[in-house]
Chains A and B, each alone.
Chain A
Amino acid sequence: MRVRAGRMTYAVLIVFTVLSLFPLVWTAIAASGTNGRLARTPPPFWFGGNLPKNLGIAWTDANMGVALLNTVIVAGTVAAGTVLFSTLAGFAFAKLRFRFKNVLLLLVIGTMMVPPQLSVVPLFMLIAELSWTDQLQSVVLPALVSAFGVFFMRQYLLEALPVELLEAARVDGASGLRVVWHVVFPAARPAMAVLAMLTFVMAWNDFFWPIIALTQNGSPTVQVALTGLGRGYIPDQSVIMAGALLGTLPLLLVFVAFGRQIVGGIMQGAVKG
């Protein structure tokens, strides 16, 4: 039941808002000063004058233009591919009958639990074998294997796609692909949107594997580019924070600009169990 919100509700929500935004705002504050300023007591609460300068240093030092472009390509491709593959597989696992289904599903769920740090060595050997080092597909292709995506789409489609709808389409004479096209995708769209966003953000922020697979002069993603910041023995915290801000800002802008749609998408696509 929706009750009109009282003052307490607003008070608590405003506290929550402040806590959610504060670390981000403070990243900008830290990026706007100098090292010395960060060392003061009490710590700075307002912006200093160096924000443009530090952002500029971070931008050129980290080769950020190329990095941003690469990251958009990587995250976009990974998101599109993952959503496509996960929806198809999730649909099959949710609604179709085939041999070894349960075994394969268990395999999928099992891989969700495998810690990703370890695959790095064999994966790099594989990538090296294919001569893909420092090329974007070396981070794109492995990321397409999203067991979580399959699991997520299956859970959603279990509920969201009534069997009757499928059968009606079949009786109608629609072949497999047309069923997928006209029935499954429309039903799955909210969850696809959520998965796309989740995957995009994850691919955008991934750093562990890209640091190994890519180099800064080749085809760096944002997170790879940022590891070069700090100028070695003399890391400048303000510049590092400026870099962190640069890496986050594009996503934040998207979230603010399309906040309504993204939130709506998450709420529609939230797995109902």
Chain B
Amino acid sequence: MASGTTTAGGAPLRQDAAGERRWRARRHRWDVRWSPYAYIAPFFVFFAAFGLVPLLYTAWASLHRVELTAPADMEWVGLRNFSRLVADEFFWNALKNTVTIGLLSTVPQLLIALGVAHLLHGRLRGSMFFRVVALTPYATSVAAATLVFVLLFGRDYGMVNWALGLAGIGPVNWQNGAWASQFAVSTIVIWRWTGYNALIYLAAMQSIPDELYESAALDGASRWRQFVHVTVPSLRPTILFTIVVSTIGATQLFGEPLLFNGSAGATGGSDHQFQTLGLYLYEQGWVNLHLGRASAIAWAMFLILVLLGTAAGLINAYRRRTG
């Protein structure tokens, strides 16, 4: 590799070369120092205009009583919008629902994805067909997917209850049962995302060296034990990534429960049984028109996530130090 241009030559040339080297070194330093800012600048310019400004407005609004009917009229209320959340049964209910729907959708989704990836990892006829099919639900919009699931989960004429009826079960009230509705909403999420996650796991599985399996096989490990002791540990970073992404998605879950509720909009069911935080925020802001309170909910959600993230980080650091 050419690491310099210092071929032998006359003194003037050497001086030139030295000068050039100095200039290049300076340019290099300048480059190293400032170019990072140039790379992040486009993102942060847009972020400042379309991300930060709304964010700061939201923070400011959360300290006021302000209505959508007149967003310019702000009445200072300090932290009242936050303090009232503590006693707000609907906020806690939404938080609880967000957690349970989050678990109901994320855990099965990732487990199924892992299983499907494992199956796809074998030598398989038509593997490309299965992979493409796995991805098609992902291409469907939340709106289109929810529309069709509302019909499928209909209490009186839906296909799901018809099938359950053949087995002598039901009819289940998928819209207004407590657990049934959470399950139904989760199903939409699971349906849309499982295939995508399966492909990500599959990619990671393919990069696991065969020797690991061979030595495990030599130790007499069964297929299942190989899966548990070789595959899963090797996938840990990937699994972590998908958990992070799914968790963020789950905390912001909004479109599915909104559209699943048909004409009743943002209530999240007659007992608010599937009203998520995102939906409660929407109800406060866009139905009840209280922008200040909605802003406070948004920031509370944000703080909860930051807390979760920090906790996860601390646990991780602790484990790394002790383990």
A–B contact with Cβ pairs below 8 Å: the answer is yes
How many residues on chain B are close to A (CB under 8 Å)?
109
B268 at the interface (CB under 8 A from A): no
* Nearest residue, chain A, Cβ from B200: A270
B6 at the A interface (CB under 8 A):
no
For A17, the chain B residues whose CB sits under 8 A away are 130, 133-134
**Is A88 touching B42 in the complex (CB atoms < 8 A)?**
yes
- B141 contacts A267, C-beta separation under 8 Å: no
B27-52 near A? 1/0 per residue, CB < 8 Å = 11001110111111011101101110
Cross-chain contact B148 with A4 (CB below 8 angstroms):
no
Q: Does A183 contact B (CB under 8 A)?
A: no
Q: Are A122 and B140 in contact (CB under 8 A)?
A: no
Q: Does B110 contact A (CB under 8 A)?
A: no
Given contacts A96-B36, A121-B68, A241-B148, contact A5 B123 (CB under 8 A): yes
Residues of A contacting B254 in the complex (Cβ-Cβ under 8 angstroms): 115, 117, 208
Known pairs A4-B123, A123-B54, A226-B143; A267 contacts B298 (CB<8 A): no
Quick one: given A3-B223, A121-B71, are A26 and B135 in contact (CB under 8 Å)?
Answer: no
Size range of the interface on A? Answer: 35 or more
Per-residue interface assignment for chain B, residues 275 to 302, with 1 indicating a CB less than 8 Å from any chain A CB and 0 otherwise: 0011001100110000100110010011
Residues of A within 8 A of B49 (CB): 126, 141
- Assess whether A88 is in contact with B39, with CB atoms less than 8 Å apart: yes
* Complex alpha-carbon distance, A241 and B147, angstroms: 8
| Interfacial residues, chain B to chain A (CB-CB below 8 A) | 1-3, 24, 27-28, 31-33, 35-40, 42-44, 46-47, 49-51, 53-55, 57-58, 61, 68, 71, 112, 115-116, 119-125, 128, 130-145, 147-149, 151-152, 157-159, 162, 191, 195-196, 199-200, 202-204, 206-207, 210, 213-214, 217, 223, 226, 236-238, 240-241, 245, 248, 251-252, 254-255, 277-278, 281-282, 285-286, 291, 294-295, 298, 301-302, 305-306, 309
Residue-wise, chain A 138-170 has the 8 Å CB interface mask toward B (1 for contact) of: 000110110110100001000000000000101
Known: A38-B157, A208-B255. A256 touches B132 (CB 8 A): yes
| A250-273 contact mask (Cβ, 8 Å, vs B): 1 or 0 | 011011100110110011101111
Closest beta carbon of chain B to A172's beta carbon, Å: 7
> B143 touches which one: A42, A108, A205, A263 (CB < 8 A)?
A205
The answer, among B44, B138, B204, B277, for a CB contact under 8 Å with A270, is B204
